[in-house]
Amino acid sequence: MIGYVGIDVGSVSTNLVFIDDGGIIREAIYLRTQGKPIETVQRGLKELDGKLPSGTKVQGVGTTGSGRHLTGVIIGADAVKNEITAHAVASSLLVPGLHSILEIGGQDSKIIILRNGVVSDFAMNTVCAAGTGSFLDQQAGRLGIPIEKFGEIALQSKSSVRIAGRCAVFAESDMIHKQQMGCGLPDILAGLCDALVRNYLNNVGKGKEILAPVVFQGGVAANAGMVKAFEKALKLPVQVPPYYDVMGAVGAALLSREAVARKGTSRFKGFGVADTDYQAGSFECSGCSNLCEVVEIAENDRIIARWGDRCSKWSNAIRPEEKIS
Amino acid sequence: MRVTFPHMGNLHISLKAMFQTLGVEVVVPPPCSKRTLSLGSKHGPEFACLPLKLNLGNFIEAYELGADTVVMAGGCGPCRFGYYAQIQQAILKDLGCALQFIVLEPPQRQITELLVKIKQLAGSRSWWKIIQALRFGYRKARLVDEIERVALRSRPREKIPGSTDAAYRQALDLIDCASSWEKLTAAQEKAKEIMDKVAVDFSRQVIKVGVVGEIYTLLEPFSNLYLERHLGGLGVEVHRSIYLSGWVNEHLFHGLAKGMGSGKEARSASYPYLRHFVGGHGQETIGNAVRYARSGYDGIIQVFPFTCMPEIVAESILPDVCKDFGVHYLTFIMDENTGEAGMVTRLEAFTDLLARKKEAKEALSS
């Protein structure tokens, strides 16, 4: 089997997929990043290598997510692309005729509007992380329910209670207040879903024209309570695609297929990357008053990449990488 | 008297020249850095906007270098900036930094109000000397702005990555070091030569983006996480709506120097979206967005500091403007965060979108 690997390194999860030459998803792995992107990617690669039949050939690798540059350097990526483009590419392949993508991840949320198969508009949350996965996670933790059960419990609600949605701090204090008043847990959770959807549509959606078909993806799409709240607010059916939680990785794999088709060869370093020793470190450059935080990535004690310096003194000191993102 | 002032982009080049011509000793604060930001946010009120914090940091750092007098602009109207000089003075006093403040308020009626303040700084120096100093400083401001404009044009087209930035720094240094009118003329030519030497590829397709928003975050690259440089790297030609010399001319000289791009045009272009002054540059933001949209720009980016009221008003009107003209916009709200990854992701996606739109439009029209 030959195919492409896509890796999405997000704040909360790291996802890896393997798609075959025809664009069919063969393997998908969802891992928690837990603040250790390099180790997680290595663990994921090892797992993926074990799952794939022997003799599988990786034709190309793409990375996306907030850790895309770091991961790209480590594994030798052919495409390093932002999440918006990756999500749009993946969804338009899996859901033909798609018009709107709602995406809520760990730290960010975005909306992508497509017309005729291309992105016509998008937005991402700006200053506020209220309504993203991390907040739901934290609230589930506070209420002592596993995050996987959140949606199920919310769906039991008969009438949701009103929770303030525009700020995580307001939402939390409202929830505590309603909880102390004696409101039931399902009603509070359903109220929280409504509040988050309201905040999303106001803060991210900002009056964009959301037309069917609508897909909802990203980790939060696992929450059935959120899906229902979206359907209620939009008065439209909302689909959750089968690989909703790894769509970014699927997009990255597809983009690497394009990139490799363009240049002919892949830069992928092989699954051996999983056993190579990498160190990431940072230091403050004292060359001028900018005091840049320079990040250094070393492979077996050899520096392979540096970034973060505004004057490029450090990043230019090593072999300049070909521009791939 | 050892005078210092807040940083705002390359403002220091112009102010330094002005004070030195007057014979006033100048302490240029160290450029805005993480330390400046840490000092400012430690001692500044939490709810204040980023410019207050950075400027406060500038003053503390300048005080450490021996400054004893702060010269800064004041302001009036609904933006909180007008009140910052007083707040900063009170904070510095509590910290035990003995700094005297001279606040240059925009003249309400005529330029003489400003001249009185300047006389306070200049002491016994003649009016002739003062006018010379103002002219010299203003000329430097215009030259610096011109270098910035050239850099914005060549950055997306440069053949060697980073060559524009290197030339830009060199050119600014030349202007900064010129100590007389004649030397400045020579420096001007040399700087132009340096900027022209940057190898550019004018056949390259670039995307054009207009940047609008609050003046401080537009002019101080540290506060906008080097937005213009990131855009240039992504192959975007940036046009900035506010330049230092234009602002000085309009607000301090009352439009004395003719033929500069003026805020008046921007304000009149803001009809019918925003019909009146909302403080700061809110109305200009809308007006300039309309002007960029009319001139066929591919996209508009708005930047402002977190909690900036005038720009929040403008932000809520921008979607309508952009919908009517069919252009795309992106808003960045700047605060203490110095991580650039989130911004780069949004910029990348934004340029991807604009590039595809442009391709589609050109395919249709050809």
pLDDT in tens, A6-59: 999 987 789 999 999 888 999 999 998 888 889 999 999 999 999 999 888 999
Mutation for testing the A interface, residue in B155, B336, B348, B357 having most A CBs under 10 Å: B348
Chain A nearest-CA residue for B305: A127
Mutation for testing the B interface, residue in A127, A204, A283 having most B CBs under 10 Å: A127
Q: How many domains does chain A have?
A: 3
Domain containing residue B350: 206-365
Residues B345 and B210 in one domain: yes
Residue A17 belongs to some domain of the structure: yes
pLDDT the model gives residue A294: 86
Residue A82 belongs to some domain of the structure: yes
Lowest-pLDDT range of A166-170, A233-237, B105-109, B317-321 = B105-109
Residue B271 belongs to some domain of the structure: yes
Contact call for A291 and B34, based on CB within 8 A: yes
User: In chain B, which residues have their Cβ closer than 8 Å to the Cβ of A66?
Assistant: 341-342, 345
Contact call for A119 and B319, based on CB within 8 A: no
Residue A76 belongs to some domain of the structure: yes
Domain containing residue A144: 97-240
Contact call for A66 and B341, based on CB within 8 A: yes
Contact call for B342 and A290, based on CB within 8 A: no
The dihedrals phi and psi of A56, each to the nearest 5 degrees, come to: -70, 135
Domain CATH code at residue B108:
3.40.50
Residues A161 and A256 in one domain: no
User: For the complex shown, is ipTM > 0.85?
Assistant: no
Residue A324 belongs to some domain of the structure: no
Residue B134 belongs to some domain of the structure: no
Whether A71 contacts chain B with CB within 8 A: no
Output b/e per residue, A301-312; b: 16+ Cβ within 10 A: eeebbbbbbbbe
Residues B210 and B351 in one domain: yes
DSSP secondary structure letter of residue A131:
T
Q: Tokens in use for B348?
A: 């990348």
> CA nearest B320: which of B263, B274, B282?
B274
DSSP secondary structure letter of residue A97:
T
Residues B324 and B193 in one domain: no
The Cα-based distances of B282 to A56, B18, B217, B241, B287 in angstroms read 58, 30, 13, 12, 9
Residues A31 and A158 in one domain: no
Residues A252 and A225 in one domain: no
Whether A286 contacts chain B with CB within 8 A: no
Element (H, E) at A4: strand A2-9
| Residues comprising chain A, all counted | 325
Residue B72 belongs to some domain of the structure: yes
Contact call for B348 and A312, based on CB within 8 A: no
DSSP secondary structure letter of residue A213:
S
Whether residue B13 is predicted with pLDDT greater than 60 in this model: the reply is: yes
User: In chain A, which residues have their Cβ closer than 8 Å to the Cβ of B314?
Assistant: none
d(CA B304, CA B286): 13
Compute the mean pLDDT over every residue in chain A, rounded to the nearest whole number: 87
Residues B38 and B185 in one domain: no
Residues A301 and A182 in one domain: no
Residue A139 belongs to some domain of the structure: yes
Residues A113 and A181 in one domain: yes
When CB atoms are compared, the residue of A85, A124, A320 closest to B352 is A85
Residues B221 and B312 in one domain: yes
pLDDT the model gives residue A231: 96
Domain boundary among B125, B159, B178: B125
- Find residue A2's DSSP bridge partners: A57
What's the pLDDT band for B76 if we cut at 50, 70, 90?
low
Residue B136 belongs to some domain of the structure: no
Residues A216 and A101 in one domain: yes
Residue A179 belongs to some domain of the structure: yes
Residues A204 and A145 in one domain: yes
Residues B163 and B220 in one domain: no
Q: How many domains does chain B have?
A: 3
Residues A182 and A218 in one domain: yes
Residues A260 and A291 in one domain: no
Residues A64 and A36 in one domain: yes
- Find residue B330's DSSP bridge partners: B301
User: In chain A, which residues have their Cβ closer than 8 Å to the Cβ of B341?
Assistant: 66
Residue B251 belongs to some domain of the structure: yes
Whether A173 contacts chain B with CB within 8 A: no
Residues B212 and B340 in one domain: yes
Whether A54 contacts chain B with CB within 8 A: no
Q: Tokens in use for B125?
A: 């120096």
What's the pLDDT band for A322 if we cut at 50, 70, 90?
very low
Residue A322 belongs to some domain of the structure: no
What's the pLDDT band for A128 if we cut at 50, 70, 90?
low
Whether residue B241 is predicted with pLDDT greater than 80 in this model: the reply is: yes
Strands across the sheet containing A2-9: A25-32, A13-20, A2-9, A57-64, A79-80
Residue B133 belongs to some domain of the structure: no
What's the pLDDT band for B74 if we cut at 50, 70, 90?
confident
CA A42 to chain centre: 18
What's the pLDDT band for B253 if we cut at 50, 70, 90?
low
Residue B135 belongs to some domain of the structure: no
Alpha helices in chain B (DSSP H): 11-22, 34-43, 50-64, 84-95, 112-122, 127-154, 163-177, 181-197, 215-219, 227-233, 244-251, 263-269, 282-294, 309-325, 341-365
> CA nearest B6: which of B42, B55, B44?
B55
Whether residue B258 is predicted with pLDDT greater than 90 in this model: the reply is: no
Domain boundary among B201, B216, B232: B201
Residues B175 and B213 in one domain: no
Range B342-353 average pLDDT: 90
Range A236-252 average pLDDT: 92
Domain CATH code at residue A36:
3.30.420.40
Residues B361 and B320 in one domain: yes
Query: Is B242:B215 a contact under the CB 8 Å cutoff?
Result: yes
Residues B333 and B191 in one domain: no
Q: Tokens in use for A234?
A: 């939009």
Residue B215 belongs to some domain of the structure: yes
Residues B304 and B352 in one domain: yes
CA distance A280 to chain B (A): 17
Residues A55 and A166 in one domain: no
Residues B191 and B211 in one domain: no
d(CA A26, CA B182): 72
B203 by Cβ neighbours in 10 Å (0-12 / 13-18 / 19+) ranks as: exposed
When CB atoms are compared, the residue of B335, B341, B353 closest to A122 is B353
CB pairs under 8 A between A and B: 61
- Higher pLDDT: B1 or A320? It is B1
Whether A276 contacts chain B with CB within 8 A: no
Compute the mean pLDDT over every residue in chain B, rounded to the nearest whole number: 89
pTM of the model as a whole:
0.84
Residue A325 belongs to some domain of the structure: no
Lowest-pLDDT range of A86-90, A220-224, B127-131, B361-365 = B361-365
Range B239-250 average pLDDT: 85
pLDDT the model gives residue B339: 77
Contact call for B346 and A124, based on CB within 8 A: yes
pLDDT the model gives residue B176: 96
| A262-297: pLDDT as tens digits | 888 899 998 988 888 888 888 888 887 777 888 888
pLDDT the model gives residue A221: 93
Name, in order, each residue with C-beta under 8 angstroms of A175's C-beta and a sequence gap of 6 or more.
A139, A163, A188, A191, A192
Domain CATH code at residue B215:
3.40.50.11900
Domain boundary among B182, B201, B220: B201
pLDDT the model gives residue B112: 74
Query: Beta B2-4 vs B69-73: how paired, if at all?
Result: parallel
